Chain A
Amino acid sequence: MTASPCVNVCHMNPRHGLCVGCYRTLDEIARWSALDEPERAQIVATLRERRAQLGPLRAPRPR
């Protein structure tokens, strides 16, 4: 079972619409627990690409 990509840094980057910790969209986070294994693996592969392409994402404001 593909583990959740959450790294406990849960903030959305408004410009990209992605979580700054795991690079998922809101939809991907909200639906994660209902996805089947191939869908999870597909998302995790996509996250690697997003991370490589976008580099570090910033949270909207410092905590």
Chain B
Amino acid sequence: MMSVPRTPGEESEPRPGAPRPCRTVLDAQGIARASKRMAHEIAERNPGCERLALVAIPAGGVPVAELLSEHLAEIAGRKIPLGVLDVTLYRDDVIGRGTRPVPQRTRMPFSAAGARVVLVEDVVFTGRTVRAAMDAVLDFGRPEVIQIASLVDRGHRELPIQVDFVGKNIPTARAERVELRRSAAGEYEVVVT
């Protein structure tokens, strides 16, 4: 579903009660292409995929990491370790939000010590989630290096976090929401509302 493209950076305040306008910025094919390219970039930056490990930040980072894992497996000729790391308990903004969110499953089947860790997100925004994820990863051992891969970088950083491997840069207004979700047809897509 495509709607009239808007001038980038324009502040959009939807009328209260009106349904928020929604535009797809990455459809299923776009995601496939982007993740393939990102996988190649990761392999390039990490020669031979030696000691490479993917750590997905749930929930959105998981499908992205799975895609990357598939492509990297083809490139490297073997499976790359894949972990899922819930960062709810490391966030700095959980207090005062009202009801606490229930943390999701963490599965870290390998030690991060000496690993070349790639944190995988779907959307990087203020950078706070990634910062929490870095703290969490460090509790699993001292990695050789931490890199960040994200399907979407939408800007508006509040912390000095840079994304090493981006699927797509999407300029947005602060008030807008960007999310990875499944379409009616069951395919993944990234939409801005």
Q: Please indicate whether A and B come from the same complex rather than being unrelated chains.
A: no
